[in-house]
Structure 1
Amino acid sequence: MKFNYTALVLAFLIGVLIFISPPFVMSLDISAFIRIPMLCMITLFFLLHVVKKKKFVYFYLPFISFFVIEVFYWKMTGNSLEGASYFLTYVILIISVLLSIHRIKNCKILIVNFYFWLILITSVLCIISFLAFNLNLLPYSYRPIGGDEGYKYFYFPILGYINAKNFDSTVIGRACGYLFEPSYMGWFLTANFFLISKFLKNKKKIFFVQLIVFMGALSTMSTMMWLVFFIVFGIATLYLILRWAGMQEKMICMILFVIFFLGFMLIPKDKIIESLGPSSSDDREERVGVSFLLIASASPLDLLLGRSPGYLEKKFDKGESNQIIKLLVENGIISTVLVLIFVIYFTYKSKWFMIANLLFLNSVVILFTPLFMFNILICKWLNEIEEGSNEVSMK
């Protein structure tokens, strides 16, 4: 297969942008003077391809205009616009890529293949790292990242970082590769476990790769990883039972949605998390409490439009670990609803991947990162491939 140079350069730049942006550790060492121009350059390139398209002008431009109005409101209320500029740029980028990627021959296929190999290689490295550290097979060195207030990790070249954590009387190393925390790697591998079948068509290869990704996810020993696998497998089992009973698809989805919503609201999540071993749930609950106080004391406009991205970190020197609550506080109710609709719209045809992402958004802040954004776009593209609108890239 021949690739044009434009597609190769774009795919390469997108890959670089992913690696030098959060949640990758490299983002701590790369200057904003490199990351921001690259982000703006890629965004501008795709935007120029769609700025005159009717679908962009009549459907997406009103959404972008609303977000611009939000930015002006945040400026008027005296809040910082550093995070707001990233938010607005990412919104424009994802819409522009969505509308223009098909016009750049083979670019979509390159990005999809890049993600497949990133998922597979990352899984293998996590498995090796987990075994090597916990069985004392390799000499890991203590290497904190992010300064004194950062992460206290162990490091081995190529395999990346390990977070050593006490479980009762045992210390277990949790693989996080080159991402900030095991929870981020847990999200990336767990969510994409449910997408692997879309990348491949050979059933034997699907099982083998899924097994590798599953073992890689387990190597992170992330508390949320256990919970998400348990919930999604439980819902999938119930789905198969209802299908076997002859129930219609729409009715099944409605029943599962009600069960999922009620379960999420009523199940004692704290007790379940505690039963899985030590976690950061206490610290997370404290942050959620602060966020709820801000929501309760917010003015009507602050509730609707938010207080600006990054507000919690600047105001309290401690961020919010729940992405949805963070959105409500910083971006407001309207933006939260719009963003969640976009996430669901991109992923609803891969329901287990969608559910896994929505669950993880309650514990990791990954929404406005290139890694997450292109992941949900890839989900949409893979569904298009499955429906026969494009050639399948991997057999």
Structure 2
Amino acid sequence: MEEVRYNKIALILVFLIVFFILMHPPFVLSIYVPTYIRLSLFLFIVLFSLFTIVFRRYFIKIYIPILLFFTVCAFYWLLIGAIFEEIVYTLLYVLLAIVLMVSVRRNKSLRGLVIKFYFILVLILSILSIISFLGFNLDLVSYTLKPVGEGDYVYQYFHNYFLGYINPKVFESGVIGRVCGFLFEPSYQGWFLSTNFFLLSKWIKNRWYLILAQIIVFLGALSSFSTMSWVVFAIVFVSILGFKFMSILTVREKTANIIYSLTLFVGILTLFTVVSQDKLFEALGPSSSEDRTNRLDTSSFFLFTASPVQLMLGRGPGFIGKNSDRGESNPIVKSLVENGLIVTVFVLIFIIYCTYRSKYYMIANLLWLNSVVILFTPLFIVNVLVCKWLAEIEDN
């Protein structure tokens, strides 16, 4: 009887978590759900999960000090005039990551249900992405031009009720419809599908089903026609070959990881210091790379003019949007400016801690964190936790 009740609680919670994820950015549905509903559900999930673990010794020893540090940061951000709403959401996202990570120790059913939801979501979005790409570009499905977004961020996209949104991109050879699906931009679609491509082997053990799923998700990710999708797949596939080559040479795993990290660091450094950025943008074709570089210049100015305290603790959540006419598309740089070095290091440690057992998923995510703002979103936070839970299940 107790087990039935336990499962019912897990089912109710997973339903709420699913709705919670879908009604927050980067999903378009977030525009149509009132803030008070989103915030109420956010608080309920966080507080309910917190109640199940708050008196546990391991939570008090390890996580209470972290939460106290973020509380101190919040008071500091309030004192320097940061946006109150942004501060509240930052604290809630930190709480969400911690309480979900810890509370599933007592609720294994919830963990399994959330994992299944992500697997289904990845496959559904991939299939719809392929259909949408072919339907629009081959003129097989009708779409209606429709504005998407609010405030200063309104896009003119083509819309179909069943397939979502298409962002038309003009190339020299013609126009390509880039699939956004039910997310705000093609880059979000590309990020979600390309990163989860590298988790499919954790979900599917049958070889032929795995190959079929990989083909579907790979094509779904490329249907976004996001430049970064192609770049990430290329880098990660080369990384896989590099690790296999080092394995053949009997290089120990830790040594191979060090060699790879140094090679990647030198490669990225060379890319930005030696290679001509104009020629690089030209080689990549039409993309938002130039705009992203201009945004980075603005954020770099904020960093270079920051005081030591501002470098460590940041200028407060929402600072860039409040003090610049353009946002920042690099979430790590955004976090450095607004949340400071210490919080950014905490966030990166959390990501690596959750994903290091799935090396290629981790590499793909870290690459994407240079171009798409998904750090403080439920979709990203729960996704990296799903990666961690899959590794734990594999161990059992």
In the alignment, structure 1 residue 379 sits paired with structure 2 residue 387: yes
Which runs of structure 1 show a deviation greater than 2 angstroms over 4 or more consecutive aligned residues? 268-274
Report the count of equivalent residues.
388
Match of 1:256 in 2: 260
User: Which residue of 276, 280, 285 corresponds with 2:288?
Assistant: 280
Query: Is contact 2:26–2:188 with CA below 8 Å preserved after alignment?
Result: yes
Gaps of 5+ in 1: 389-395
Q: Amino acid of the residue matched to residue 44 of structure 1?
A: L
Q: Distance in 2 between matches of 1:168 and 1:79?
A: 44
User: Which residue of 215, 220, 226 corresponds with 1:222?
Assistant: 226
Q: Distance in 1 between matches of 2:49 and 2:179?
A: 35
Query: Is contact 2:315–2:337 with CA below 8 Å preserved after alignment?
Result: yes
SS in 1 for 2:250: coil
In the alignment, structure 1 residue 33 sits paired with structure 2 residue 36: yes
- The alpha-carbon distance between structure 1 residues 78 and 171, as it changes in their structure 2 partners (threshold 3 A), is same
The C-alpha deviation readout for 1:262-310, integer Å capped at 9, x for no partner, is 1111124844443121011111111111101111111111110001111
In the alignment, structure 1 residue 137 sits paired with structure 2 residue 140: yes
Q: Distance in 2 between matches of 1:105 and 1:122?
A: 26
Query: Is contact 2:22–2:29 with CA below 8 Å preserved after alignment?
Result: yes
In the alignment, structure 1 residue 181 sits paired with structure 2 residue 185: yes
- The alpha-carbon distance between structure 1 residues 273 and 200, as it changes in their structure 2 partners (threshold 3 A), is farther
Q: Amino acid of the residue matched to residue 332 of structure 1?
A: G
| RMSD (CA atoms) | 1.4
Match of 1:46 in 2: 49
Match of 1:200 in 2: 204
Match of 1:391 in 2: none
Match of 2:340 in 1: 332
Identity, in percent, stands at 49
In the alignment, structure 1 residue 244 sits paired with structure 2 residue 248: yes
Match of 2:320 in 1: 312
Normalised by the length of structure 2, the TM-score is: 0.96
User: Which residue of 33, 58, 61 corresponds with 1:58?
Assistant: 61
Gaps of 5+ in 2: none
User: Which residue of 363, 366, 369 corresponds with 1:358?
Assistant: 366
- The alpha-carbon distance between structure 1 residues 165 and 132, as it changes in their structure 2 partners (threshold 3 A), is same
1:79-94 matches, cutoff 5 A: 79-94=82-97
Match of 1:392 in 2: none
Normalised by the length of structure 1, the TM-score is: 0.96
Shift of 1:101: 1.1
Query: Is contact 1:307–1:332 with CA below 8 Å preserved after alignment?
Result: yes
Q: Amino acid of the residue matched to residue 76 of structure 1?
A: L
Shift of 1:110: 0.6
Q: Distance in 1 between matches of 2:372 and 2:379?
A: 13
SS in 1 for 2:370: coil
Q: Distance in 1 between matches of 2:243 and 2:228?
A: 22
SS in 1 for 2:178: strand
In the alignment, structure 1 residue 115 sits paired with structure 2 residue 123: no
The C-alpha deviation readout for 1:127-184, integer Å capped at 9, x for no partner, is 0000000000011110111257411100111100000001113100001101010000
Name which of structure 1's ranges 1-10 and 121-130 shifts more when overlaid on structure 2: 1-10
- The alpha-carbon distance between structure 1 residues 105 and 383, as it changes in their structure 2 partners (threshold 3 A), is closer
Shift of 1:79: 1.6
